[in-house]
A and B are shown apart, each in its own frame.
Chain A
Amino acid sequence: MASVGRSVPRKEGRDKVTGRALYVDDLAFPGMLHGRTVRSTIPRGEILGLRLDFDRTGFTVADWHDVPGRNTVALIELDQPCLAEREIRHFAEPILLLAHQDREKLIEAERSTAIDYRSLDPIYDPARSPLCFKEISIDKGDLARGFAEADIVVEGEYSTGHQEQLYIETNGVIAVPENGGVTVYGSLQCPYYVHRALRVLLDLPDEKVRVVQTETGGGFGGKEEYPSMIAGHAALLALKSGRPVKLVYDRVEDMVATTKRHPAVIRHSTGVKRDGRLTAIEIDVLMDGGAYMTLSPVVLSRGVIHATGPYRCENVKVHGRVVMTNTPPNGAFRGFGAPQTQFAAEVHMERIAEALGMDAVRLREANAFRPGDTTATGQKLGKDCSAVKVLREAVKRSDFRAKRRAWRGTNRGIGLSLFFHGSGFTGGGEVKLASKASLELTETGARILVASTEIGQGTRTMHAQIVADSLGIPYENVEVEAADTAKVPDSGPTVASRTCMVVGRILERCAAEIRQKLGKMSPREYLAAHGPLVVTKEYAGPDGLYWDDDSYRGDAYGAYGWACDVVEVNRDPVTFEIRPTRVTTVQEIGKAIHPILASGQIEGGTAQGIGYALLEEVAMRDGRMDNAQLTNYLVPTTLDTPEIDVTILENPYEHGPYGAKGVGEMPIDGPAPAVVNAIRSLGFDVRSIPATPERIMESSTFQVPSSKS
């Protein structure tokens, strides 16, 4: 029986419900030491000296002098040291590494370590930053003409805060010195990112570095680039001590030191006709990158490309910058720039509707992308463009209009957001990655060989379904190899909603070739006759996909998912607390390979988006996260998470496996603007998130216009 479209049992499901699944902290090696990181306690300055006031017996101590290769965390730009040498750019910057068999002794030793600094004035305001990591401009049409055609111009500034990924398993690795090199086991999304970073740091050839993903307790982007840093630290200690070293952060360290979502300030100026047609869109995006570049240029890129929201307009200018501040570096987080810019776009859209006295649905429907329309980068949308469809379905399912009318003047509010999300790497990214996937014939079926990681989203299961159906064999007969760089090819990072659509497609092509080779033979017969068979394929983009990175014109993504959220809220009239009571979400994702996994992505991403909208506030004081614990960094619990009603629509993408597009990130783009628009329906002019009771209380109130629909 075909498995695609059916919710087959998750490959590692039994292991996860019985406690057998092994996460990095569950592993131990003979002679293993524990590691600890001594970090800067100032946001900016210079290290003058280190004082280690403890008995060094049994300790391994490493600093930047112990780096055999380049002292950097190799990623886009080699600007971030693995261990600070002299300059300190942010609080909690790693300076010194300690290892010891006894964890208690490590903590005492850390307390007995003093660092002398010369402090410099930190920069926290992105608008005053002296260093721009990346600047991008998107230009379409004639902006001046567009504004000249407009009846009114609506302006607004919107802001979003940091957000912590808050995977429940903190970052952690174990480095084992072996074979003249090092093997790193870890909780991570991208084995080959870590592999490259270790080669550069340790000056080792390919084959002397091995990276093995252990079962990973959540990532959400937080284990995209950061594991390269922690793996480097553990490896340095392991090579110096000659023993395995486990480095697992506690929650406070994880929150203080690792990456977060980029805060952003976004300004919109929009020309619009009385009938609601958009004639000009001008957007300025400023993101706070933190102290080092990490992935900031790519986050900005996705952010600016999605900044208009899913709306057509002939005259568009989007200008974006991401800059340095003296705060811990920001990095990948589900959505990757798009939640920030689409928050602004959708709250602004609501304000345009208010300014026109127009129905919020009708305004969106009039401007939503249709097949054949072009995006800000000039990409012509194909027939899988479903913006209008998801909008209509969500409005109908939620009974949006009737509720909005009925709840006027009460403490109940309802708001919506229409959004989209590009699947795969941006622009020419997939071509540059040139991902490879392999499929190996086994006696009973096939074994998948990819570096794409299972981090909760269901990679192993979904890939096995695609392969099973493509080979015409049962799902149970497909095995999945561990994501181990000694065994699997580089299928690219597990990010950017690409694991199903892009890597799944390569596997589908591998399976097609194996099926053709098998002919009428069974796998067993084939192996007996011809010996082992492994088929490897490389990414091959659809013909005609075009991108120019200099002009930022062309096809930004192979495909887009489309979605609409409707959020219903109650406001406590005394405390101003907003309680979301129901989310209706309709998401068009091409094809749900596994409906339960796909719904799980949508429900989970929606809950994270609700947290982003209302609860999750990083209190950054003097460059340091002041609420780095779960007691006061609040993420949604069962009591904070409303009922989420999910509808999946399928409008197949012809180059995705079985029509599938990406699904992982899109769900987090929509909840924040829908929540804020629901709050706006109560008459509070909120333009920044999280919309805490304090922010709502301080916001100005306005008379919600009664709209003509």
Chain B
Amino acid sequence: MRFTLNGKARDVRAAPMKRLLDVLREECGLTGTKEGCGEGECGACTVIVDGLPVNSCLVPFAQARGSVVTTIEGLKGRHPLQDAFVVEGGAQCGICTPGMILAAAALPRNASLEEIRTGLAGNICRCTGYMAIYRAVKKASARPPARRRR
């Protein structure tokens, strides 16, 4: 089945009802996407599908046909959020971090604190109490647009 993964066309053979999460981790070898609960509550498995953050544990692979999927590996370590999460302490144990960063990447630019809180409400972090995550998101969106576009 064809879809676009991190900017490249891929053709992957997998059972249509296999979870997108498992296809990414097992068939594509991209283990940056994590499983936290398997029921769409924690957001650790968040990936971006056609521009929107989704819980990849709830998506059967068949639904990804023809889609554009971005995982944490697709940010190539160059997204401003990634630096900001390191600097501000937004990642502690790190297991929610890939999903959190992808959910944050889908927020509108210069989001207000309330927009950040609402936008990240589907991503549970048990370590930080979220404060450092808000600081990281704010810091990343305060970056000059020239660097953001890279």
Q: Which residues on A sit within 8 Å (CB–CB) of B124?
A: 168, 630, 635, 637
Given contacts A604-B128, A630-B39, contact A167 B93 (CB under 8 A): yes
Binds A, one of B61-69, B129-137, B142-150: B129-137
Return the CB mask of B114-137 against A: 1 if under 8 Å, else 0. 001110111111111111100000
Once the chains are docked, how many angstroms separate the CA of A84 from the CA of B86? 45
Does A217 sit within 8 A of B, measured CB to CB?
Answer: yes
| Chain A hits for B85, CB < 8 A | 13, 16-17
The listed residue (B97, B116, B126) touching A220 by CB distance below 8 A is: B126
Chain A residue numbers with a CB within 8 Å of B36 are: 168-170, 251, 630
A466 at the interface (CB under 8 A from B): no
**B73 cross-chain contacts in A, Cβ below 8 A:** 18-19
One of A125-133, A177-185, A453-461, A498-506 contacting the partner: A453-461
In Å, the complex CA distance between A10 and B73 comes to 20
Query: Which residues does chain B contribute within 8 Å of A14, judged by CB atoms?
Result: 77, 82, 86
* Interface flag for B60 (CB, 8 Å): no
A168 and B41 contacting across the interface, CB-CB below 8 Å: no
From known contacts A166-B126, A251-B39, infer whether A20 and B92 are also in contact, taking CB-CB under 8 Å. no
Q: Are B93 and A168 in touch, CB under 8 angstroms?
A: yes
A638 touching B121 by the CB < 8 A rule? Answer: yes
Number of A-B contacts (CB under 8 A): 166
| A607 lies within 8 A of B129 (CB) | yes
The binding surface of chain B is classed by DSSP as loop
Interface of A is mostly: loop
Chain B residues with CB under 8 A of A22 = 31
Contacts of B30 on A, CB cut-off 8 Å? 19
> Is the beta-carbon distance between B37 and A606 smaller than 8 angstroms?
no
Q: Please, how many angstroms separate the alpha-carbon atoms of A635 and B130 in the complex? A: 13
B121 touches A12 (CB 8 A): no
Mask for B77-92, Cβ within 8 A of A = 1, else 0? Answer: 1000111011111011
Residues in A whose Cβ lies below 8 Å from that of B127: 218, 456, 600, 604
Give the most central of B96, B122, B129: most A CB within 10 Å: B129
B-side contacts of A639, CB under 8 Å: 117-118, 121
Decide yes or no whether B42 CB sits under 8 A from chain A.
yes
Interface string of A1-40 (1 = CB under 8 A from B): 0000001011011111111111101100000000000000
Q: How many residues of B contact A (CB 8 A)?
A: 52
B89 near A599 (CB under 8 angstroms)? yes
CB pair B95 A169 closer than 8 Å: yes
Select from chain B the residue with minimum beta-carbon distance to A17: B82
Tell yes or no: B72 within 8 A of A by CB: yes
A644, B129: Cβ atoms closer than 8 Å: yes
Q: Is B101 an interface residue (CB 8 A)?
A: yes
Q: Considering the complex, give the chain B residue whose CB is closest to the CB of A639.
A: B121
Evaluate whether A596 and B94 lie within 8 angstroms (CB atoms) in the complex, with A17-B86, A18-B73 already known.
no
Q: Which of A604-645 contact B (CB under 8 A)?
A: 604-608, 629-631, 635-639, 641, 643-644
Tell me if A377 is interfacial: C-beta within 8 Å of chain B. Answer: no
Which of A170, A219, A456 is in CB contact (< 8 Å) with B94? A456
Would A25 and B35 count as touching, CB distance under 8 A?
Answer: yes
* Bound complex: CA A523 to CA B92 (Å): 32
Q: How far is the CA of A364 from the CA of B122 in the complex (A)?
A: 40
Give chain B nearest CB distance to A295 CB in angstroms: 21
List, in ascending order, chain B residues with CB within 8 A of A599's CB.
89, 131-132
| Bound-complex Cα distance A166 to B71 (A) | 24
Q: Cβ of A270 < 8 Å from any Cβ of B? A: no
**Using Cβ atoms and an 8 Å threshold, which residues of chain B touch A636?**
129
Cα–Cα, bound, A646→B89 (Å) = 14
Asked if B32 contacts A631 (CB within 8 A), the reply is no
Residues of B whose CB lies within 8 Å of any CB of A are: 25, 30-39, 41-42, 44, 71-73, 75, 77, 81-83, 85-89, 91-98, 101, 116-118, 120-132
Identify the A interface with B (CB < 8 A).
Answer: 7, 9-10, 12-23, 25-26, 165-170, 215-220, 250-251, 455-458, 596-597, 599-600, 603-608, 629-631, 635-639, 641, 643-644, 646
Report the 8 A-B pairs with minimum CB-CB distance, sorted nearest first.
A19-B32, A217-B95, A456-B93, A16-B94, A607-B129, A630-B41, A603-B129, A456-B92
